[in-house]
C-alpha cells in the first residue's frame, strides 16, 4: 500500500522545503517564498521551451511575429522572467545573471536577504534542435541587506546555502540542495506542481561514463589528456568507459548525477580558464555533486573553495563520482 499512499500523498517541492525549513528554529518561510518564485520562472521557461518549435512558426518568440513586432529570443525572455520573479519575491537584494553584464541591485523597498546567481537558459545553442537545456542557480545569504556591495557576491562556493537546476528535457526535472542532500522533483504538467520523484540522490562512487568535448583535445594540458586516454585505454584491466556528451551542462551533469561518471570542462591552451562560469555554472553544480557524495575539482583545488574576483569569472571543472574525480586529482598532483 506504500505506492498507493504515495500516489495520493503528494510531496510537492513547496511541502518538501517547508518540512526542511521547519527544522530550523526561527525560520520565517523566506526561503520557501524565494524558491516558489524560482519555481515560477522554471515553469514559465518549461512552457516556453516546449513551444519553441511552434513559436518559430507562428512567431511567439524568435524573429518578428505576425503583427510585425520584434519578438524576444528565448534566453532573453527567460532572463526577464527570472529577474522579475526574483525581484518581486521581496526576498532578494542582489542578482547575478549570465545575461547581464552587471549585478542587479534590488530596490531597497523590495530587498530581502538573499543573493541569487543564475543562468536562466543554459545550453541555448541546443534549443533549435530540441535537445535538453536548463536553468542553473546558486543562492547566498547576504550579511547586511542595507549595505550590499559587489564584494557580497564574490564569495566562495562554500558559502552557498542552496543550489539547483531545472532541466527542460523529455520531462521537466528540478534538482535542489539546501545543504542537506540532493532531491529531484518532476513537473506534473497536469497539476503544475513539482513532485518529489528522486529523494536523496547519491551519485555512484565510481562511474562508467566520461563526458567532455573531445574536439578540444589538441589544446588540452597533460593531465586532462592522460585522463581521457585512460578512460579509453585503461591499463588496469577494467573495461573502457563510454563517452556521452550532450553539450548542455545541465543535461550532462544530470546524467552524471544519476548514472555516475565524470563531466569535464577542462582548461586548454586557448582558454586557460575553461569555458564555464564560476558563479552560476561551476559553483551550483559543484555544490550539488558534493551534496550527492561526489566531488568537484578545478585542476588545482576543490571547486567550491575558489574565490571569484569578477562576476563572470570562468574556471576549469572536473565533477562527478568520487573515485573518478580522485583519479584526475592524482594526475594533476603528479604533474606539479
- If one asks whether residue 97 binds ligand AHM (CB under 6 A), the answer comes out as no
Calpha distance 90→111 (Å, rounded): 6
Identify the H or E element spanning 46. helix 30-50
Minimal distance, residue 272 CB to ligand AHM, in Å: 15
- Closest CB to Mg ion among 119 and 252? 119
Minimal distance, residue 134 CB to ligand AHM, in Å: 8
Question: One symbol per residue from 194 to 213: x for binding ligand AHM (CB under 6 A), - otherwise; what is it?
Answer: -------------------x
- If one asks whether residue 122 binds ligand AHM (CB under 6 A), the answer comes out as yes
- If one asks whether residue 268 binds ligand AHM (CB under 6 A), the answer comes out as no
**Residue 206 near residue 328, CB atoms below 8 Å:** no
**Residue 252 near residue 261, CB atoms below 8 Å:** no
- If one asks whether residue 123 binds ligand AHM (CB under 6 A), the answer comes out as yes
**219: which DSSP letter?**
G
- If one asks whether residue 78 binds ligand AHM (CB under 6 A), the answer comes out as no
Minimal distance, residue 75 CB to ligand AHM, in Å: 8
Reading the block at residue 257, the C-alpha cell is 548525477
- If one asks whether residue 247 binds ligand AHM (CB under 6 A), the answer comes out as yes
Q: How far apart are the first and last CA of the chain?
A: 58
56 pairs with which residues across the strands?
Answer: none
Q: Which stretch binds ligand AHM (CB under 6 A): 165-173, 184-192, 245-253, 283-291?
A: 245-253
- If one asks whether residue 275 binds ligand AHM (CB under 6 A), the answer comes out as yes
Minimal distance, residue 123 CB to Mg ion, in Å: 7
Residue 317 CB contacts under 8 Å (≥ 6 apart), including other chains:
263, 264, 265, 274, 276, 282, 285, 286, 296, 297, 298, 303
- If one asks whether residue 73 binds ligand AHM (CB under 6 A), the answer comes out as no
In the complex, the residues that contact Mg ion under the rule CB under 5 A are 119, 122
String of b and e for 265-291 (b: at least 16 CB within 10 Å)? Answer: bbbbeeeeebbbbbbbbbbbbbbbbbb
The binder of 275, among Mg ion, ligand AHM, none, by C-beta within 5 to 8 A per type, is ligand AHM
- If one asks whether residue 320 binds ligand AHM (CB under 6 A), the answer comes out as no
Q: How many CB atoms lie within 10 A of CB 5?
A: 8
Chain residues binding ligand AHM by CB under 6 A are 98, 119, 122-125, 213, 247-249, 252, 265, 275
Amino acid at each position: 500500500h506504500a505506492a498507493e499512499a504515495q500516489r495520493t500523498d503528494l510531496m510537492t517541492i513547496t511541502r518538501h522545503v517547508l518540512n526542511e525549513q521547519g527544522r530550523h528554529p526561527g525560520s520565517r518561510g523566506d526561503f520557501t517564498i524565494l524558491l516558489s518564485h524560482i519555481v515560477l520562472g522554471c515553469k514559465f521557461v518549461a512552457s516556453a521551451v516546449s513551444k519553441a518549435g511552434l513559436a518559430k512558426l507562428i512567431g511567439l518568440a524568435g524573429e518578428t511575429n505576425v503583427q510585425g513586432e520584434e519578438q524576444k529570443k528565448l534566453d532573453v525572455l527567460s532572463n526577464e522572467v527570472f529577474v522579475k520573479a526574483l525581484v518581486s519575491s521581496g526576498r532578494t537584494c542582489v542578482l547575478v545573471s549570465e545575461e547581464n553584464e552587471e549585478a542587479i541591485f534590488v530596490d531597497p523597498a523590495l530587498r530581502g536577504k538573499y543573493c541569487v546567481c543564475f543562468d536562466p537558459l543554459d545550453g541555448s545553442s541546443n534549443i533549435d534542435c530540441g535537445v535538453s537545456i536548463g536553468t542553473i542557480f546558486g543562492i547566498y545569504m547576504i550579511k547586511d541587506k542595507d549595505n550590499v556591495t559587489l564584494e557580497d557576491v564574490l564569495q566562495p562556493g562554500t558559502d552557498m546555502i542552496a543550489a539547483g537546476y531545472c532541466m527542460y528535457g523529455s520531462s521537466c526535472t528540478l534538482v535542489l540542495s539546501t545543504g542537506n542532500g540532493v532531491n529531484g522533483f518532476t513537473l506534473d504538467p497536469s497539476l503544475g506542481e513539482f513532485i518529489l520523484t528522486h529523494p536523496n540522490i547519491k551519485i555512484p562512487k565510481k562511474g562508467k561514463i566520461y563526458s567532455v568535448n573531445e574536439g578540444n583535445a589538441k589544446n588540452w594540458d597533460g593531465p586532462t589528456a592522460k585522463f581521457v586516454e585512460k578512460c579509453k585505454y585503461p591499463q588496469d584491466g577494467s573495461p573502457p568507459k563510454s563517452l556521452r556528451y550532450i553539450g548542455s551542462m545541465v543535461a550532462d551533469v544530470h546524467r552524471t548525477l544519476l548514472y555516475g561518471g565524470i563531466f569535464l570542462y577542462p582548461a586548454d591552451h586557448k582558454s586557460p580558464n575553461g569555458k564555464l562560469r564560476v558563479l552560476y555554472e561551476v559553483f551550483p553544480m559543484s555544490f550539488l555533486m558534493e551534496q550527492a557524495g561526489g566531488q568537484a575539482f578545478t585542476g588545482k583545488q576543490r571547486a567550491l573553495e575558489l574565490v571569484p574576483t569578477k562576476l563572470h569569472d570562468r574556471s576549469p571543472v572536473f565533477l562527478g563520482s568520487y573515485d573518478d574525480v580522485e583519479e584526475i586529482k592524482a594526475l594533476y598532483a603528479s604533474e606539479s
